[in-house]
Amino acid sequence: MYIVRPANIMDLPGIERLHTSYEVRVTTLPSDRDKLSELLHTSTQSFQGDIENTQDATLIFVLEHIETGEIAGVSGIDAYAGSGYPFFNYRIEELVHASHHLGIHTATSILYLSHELTGSTVLRSFAIRPDLRGTPYFALLSRARFMYMAQNPDDFSDRTVTEIQGLLDDKGDSPFWNSIGRNFFDIDFATADYYVGVKSKTFIAELMPQHPIYVTLLSEEAQQAMNKAHPATEATCQLLFKEGFERSRYVDIFDGGPVLTSTSKNIHTIASSKLKEITTSKLVGGLKYLISNNQNGDFRCGIGKLVDGIGDHIRLDDSVATQLQVSNGDLIRYSPL
């Protein structure tokens, strides 16, 4: 049995262990211990609402095995992309080069360096033990974030975005990076990626070319990779599409990976979640739901069975109530799994 709860500094070794089992790079989860510890510290402050500047709020959740205490996954939210600094993406636009005089009309794509998504809420740091990918806990770890957002709508932006890992070649190199960034840094993708982890994405992004980039001038491989998701992100993308996220005109400036966006209040989990008072009970049947308590610092989200009715109360299984740290009369939030 797994639940999702706020990460704390004690989880550091557990999160570090996850690194070794990644199928996908998680740039937004630092491998540097100091960086990670700093991140967890900020997260704890954010959950407790005592962060000095709300723009800096970052929430890191862990997927914990209740019986063993093992950390099997991690996910996160940045309340405001960029934390007061510009949040960089490329915006893909079409330009038409036309001449009435010569009877010529050519459409060409161009990448504009954009700060447009600055201040959006960003989903980040998603990593799960590979063997849990095909289980409901995958959805639990990802969607628990939306349950948290549903109960604190004012702490987040109207728009939620997520950057999906882009295509890499067989050698783990990014063709998109090789065709753009590399020209300006003389460092390979892995090194750039490392700097993003230990410095910040904004820090590196500020060194990127400021002028718009004509897609037709990029290498064939880079053009192919642009706005394509890494195959390993398939499950993540499917889940987010189901939640109502859509492809956008934005791509990552490093690997050209797609940026998915949604209006926060329309995210399926948020829109469909309901709040009711519980009556604890034994052996409740029904359908599986994501269920969370109504706490922030002590936020818990798990999976349990409910029978949803028209009344103001809902029955919740004792054991689930224990895991979510709720008792008779407390409010829970639930959304169909």
Task: Supply the residues annotated as catalytic.
Answer: 230
Distance CA 70, CA 167 (A): 31
Distance CA 304, CA 301 (A): 10
Determine which helix (DSSP H) or strand (DSSP E) holds 33, and give its type and residue range: helix 33-48
Residue 184 touches another protein, criterion: CB under 8 A? yes
Q: Which is nearer to another protein, 96 or 310 (CB)?
A: 96
Separation in Å, CA 25 to CA 5, 124, 213, 233? 23, 12, 26, 10
Residue 98 touches another protein, criterion: CB under 8 A? yes
Q: Which is nearer to another protein, 66 or 187 (CB)?
A: 187
Measured from the CB of residue 173, what is the shortest distance to another protein in angstroms?
Answer: 17
Count of residues touching another protein (by CB under 8 A): 30
Among positions 48, 106, 238, 281, the unique one binding another protein when judged by CB under 8 A: 106
* 300 in Cβ contact with 292 (< 8 Å): yes
Contact region with another protein (CB under 8 A), list: 2-10, 136-144, 178-186, 310-318: 178-186
Site string for another protein, 203-242 (x = CB under 8 A): xx--xxxxxxxx-xxx------------------------
Contact region with another protein (CB under 8 A), list: 71-79, 93-101, 281-289, 307-315: 93-101
Q: What is the DSSP string of 236-271?
A: HHHHHHHTT-EEEEEE-TTT--EEEEEEGGGSHHHH
Distance CA 307, CA 313 (A): 11
Distance CA 8, CA 6 (A): 7
One-letter amino acid for residue 145 of the chain:
R
Residue 195 touches another protein, criterion: CB under 8 A? yes
Measured from the CB of residue 195, what is the shortest distance to another protein in angstroms?
Answer: 6
* 14 in Cβ contact with 61 (< 8 Å): no
- Residues engaged in binding another protein (CB under 8 A): 97-99, 101-102, 104, 106, 108, 110, 179, 183-187, 195, 199, 203-204, 207-214, 216-218
